[in-house]
Copies of this chain bind each other. A is one copy, B any other.
Amino acid sequence: MVVNLYPISHYEFGPKETKVEKDSSVPAHFDRLREIFQKEGMRTSVAGVLLVQEHDYPHLLLLKKIGETFKNLPGGRLKPGENEIEGLKRKLTSKLGPRLQNLVPNWEIGECVARWWRPNFENFMYPHCPAHIKKPKECRVLYMVHLSDREYFEVPKNLKLFAVPMFDLYDNAQAYGPVISSIPEQISRFEFRMNN
């Protein structure tokens, strides 16, 4: 399958208001997850693999909170019962969409890239649900997002957007964690066409 990539210079980025942080720390985050799990069961979260090209080479778009170390894929948690594709569109609009509704990209959600499982209220995730885990706490699904030739994005003021080359992600769980560092392998099945 051919995936078209366009130069990063084809995309424009403006600022928008800061997204309010729900959790002040990692333990607070897992406390909140535990509370939600009691009420709603397993959390599903979605994330988008958005690619651009620079020097005819694929780059992945990642967001970093100002003051934090790790970069993240754009995405977030689904509402109970929400469809994964629709939920990802909602999250992409929240993270990258312009405030002007008619400028919001017509998100084209493509192939499922990977599905990760969080067995416990801890950082560790696995690309399969361990056999002894009957009630995983979170399932994180990654989808390809096919960008059109030109788009205008707006990024919350407390986030910074990066375009990271594939070779920097590959075999680099130390810098990006296992979910993001294994994207080059997962998308190697696609043929990338570099457009200008």
Contacts and interface: CB of A to CB of B under 8 A. Distances in A.
Interface of A: 55-58, 111-116, 126-128, 130-131, 166-167, 170-171, 173, 178, 182, 184-189
Tell me the dominant secondary structure on chain A's binding face.
mixed
A55 to B, nearest CB: 7
Contacts of A56: 131
A114 B57 contact: no
B178 A128 contact: no
A170 B126 contact: yes
Contacts of A115: 188-189
A115 B189 CA distance: 5
B185 A127 contact: yes
Given A171-B178, A178-B171, A128 B186 contact: no
A186 B184 contact: no
A58 B131 CA distance: 9
